[in-house]
Amino acid sequence: MSIHLEEVCLTYQIDTPFKTEALHNITCTIPEGEITGVIGPTGSGKTTFLQLLNGLLKPTSGQVWVDGVPTSRLKGKDLILLRNKVGLVFQSPEEQLFEHTVYDDIAFGLRNRRLPEKEIAASVRWAMELVGLPYDELKHRSPHELSGGQKRRVALAGTLAMRPKYLLLDEPGAGLDPQSRHRLLGVIRYLVRHYNTTVVLVSHHLEDVTATCDRLVILNRGRLFMEGRTREMMARREEILAAGLELPFLNELVWKLKECRPELDPALITLEEVADEIERVFGAKYFTR
Ligand SMILES: Nc1ncnc2c1ncn2[C@@H]1O[C@H](COP(=O)(O)OP(=O)(O)OP(=O)(O)O)[C@@H](O)[C@H]1O
Ligand SMILES: [Mg+2]
């Protein structure tokens, strides 16, 4: 199963002078069990795209199908079930945190499911430990008194505690130090490997996501500009630049080397792959590893 968008358009404030077409004619599929990166410059429609996937927004025209069910027809309880299945972590954690304690915030969705408190406590602890928040130290603290990075983790834990089949993350790395960002990407990979979670990761930097995402969807001014396997996308430099994005430093380096050795394959995503390709093309004598 998967999430599929068919000719989706989304226009904000449609009957007003402030009418904005945020997404235009988007057709694409989010395959199950993979990590898809949604990348684009500021204002390209990434948040709008994500909010369409869990029914927070409904298409102005076109259709979004989640596991074969069109979201536009869902109401009330069915819409809540959809949001349980497709968990969204907002771009800014303040939009998501509203309880008095970290525990209550993370437990909120589970309580709506009317689960026994013992089960809720176990899930809250599991989610907090997964994102690196010490349970005993922070459970009674107010989420509003935490640092920006800690708030982000509480918001993420609240969504993870619900064990969504699809996990949507809107710029999850923003405001995190490199180590925390590393940890976050580790959590994402863990969820995919152990729970077969399908992840959609929004970012405006390719640098942040190429090593993590299996596929990329690139948006530009509300249109689907290009999509494909991450590795193959690294070989499409001109198009990526035309989308208003930059290639990761590592890939720029490969393209620079390619100027003198055109046979260098640019479809690479990890440091190891780049080192192997340089060794293949330039010969082992240039390298001591
Ligand atoms: N509630 C709204 N009402 C009117 N226009 C909106 C609304 N939300 C977003 N827009 C417009 O829709 C377009 C896409 O916005 P969106 O937030 O999806 O972009 P984004 O790619 O997530 O940007 P960023 O990188 O800044 O988060 C922008 O032109 C924005 O101004
Ligand atoms: Mg956004």
Geometric angle at alpha carbon 142, from 199 and 178, rounded to 5°:
45
Q: What's this model's pTM, rounded to 2 decimal places?
A: 0.94
45 lines ligand 1 (CB under 6 A): yes
Tell me the mean pLDDT in the region 116-120. 95
What is the Cα–Cα distance from 102 to 63, expressed in whole angstroms?
Answer: 36
4 lines ligand 1 (CB under 6 A): no
pLDDT over threshold 80, residue 178: yes
Q: How far is the CA of 47 from the centre of ligand 2 (A)?
A: 4
Q: How far is the CA of 140 from the centre of ligand 2 (A)?
A: 31
Write out the CATH class of domain 32-55+75-230: alpha beta
Amino acid at position 234, single letter: M
Tell me the mean pLDDT in the region 183-200. 94
In sequence order, which residues have a C-beta less than 8 Å from that of residue 62 and are 6 or more positions away? 5, 6, 7, 8, 9, 25, 26, 27
The domain segmentation of the chain, as residue ranges, is 32-55+75-230, 248-289
pLDDT at 289: 60
Least reliable range by pLDDT among 36-40, 95-99, 140-144: 95-99
Q: How far is the CA of 42 from the centre of ligand 1 (A)?
A: 8
With a pLDDT cut of 90, the percent of the chain lying above it is 82
| pLDDT band for position 95 (cuts 50, 70, 90) | confident
44 lines ligand 1 (CB under 6 A): yes
- The DSSP H or E segment spanning 168 is strand 166-170
User: What one-character-per-residue DSSP string does 62-84 give?
Assistant: EEEEETTEEGGG--HHHHHHHHH
Tell me the mean pLDDT in the region 118-130. 96
pLDDT over threshold 70, residue 46: yes
pLDDT at 141: 96
What is the Cα–Cα distance from 181 to 175, expressed in whole angstroms?
Answer: 9
72 lines ligand 1 (CB under 6 A): no
Cβ–Cβ under 8 Å, residues 206 and 249: no
CA atoms within a 13 Å half-sphere pointing along the CA-CB vector of 61: 6
Q: How far is the CA of 203 from the centre of ligand 2 (A)?
A: 8
What is the DSSP-derived secondary structure letter of residue 91? S
CA-based torsion, 190, 196, 197, 198: positive or negative = positive
Tell me the mean pLDDT in the region 116-126. 96
What is the Cα–Cα distance from 282 to 263, expressed in whole angstroms?
Answer: 10
Q: How far is the CA of 111 from the centre of ligand 2 (A)?
A: 29
92 lines ligand 1 (CB under 6 A): no
pLDDT at 219: 97
pLDDT at 287: 63
pLDDT at 176: 84
Tell me the mean pLDDT in the region 48-55. 96
**Is residue 206 packed enough to be buried (19+ CB in 10 Å), middle (13-18) or exposed (0-12)?**
buried
What is the Cα–Cα distance from 9 to 165, expressed in whole angstroms?
Answer: 25
Nearest to 170, CA basis, from 64, 60, 37, 57 = 37
Shortest-distance atom of ligand 1 to CA 50: 18
- Quick: pLDDT tens for 127-153: 999 999 999 999 999 999 999 889 999
Amino acid at position 79, single letter: L
43 lines ligand 1 (CB under 6 A): yes
- Quick: pLDDT tens for 220-259: 999 999 999 999 999 999 999 999 999 999 999 999 999 9
Query: Considering the chain, what is the average pLDDT of its residues?
Result: 93
pLDDT over threshold 90, residue 284: no
40 lines ligand 1 (CB under 6 A): yes
Least reliable range by pLDDT among 16-25, 33-42, 151-160, 174-183: 174-183
Q: Which residues surround ligand 2, an ion (CB under 5 A)?
A: 46-47, 91
Neighbours of 155 (CB within 10 A): 25
| pLDDT band for position 286 (cuts 50, 70, 90) | low
Nearest to 244, CA basis, from 205, 208, 210 = 205
135 lines ligand 1 (CB under 6 A): no
Q: How far is the CA of 20 from the centre of ligand 1 (A)?
A: 9
What is the Cα–Cα distance from 195 to 172, expressed in whole angstroms?
Answer: 20
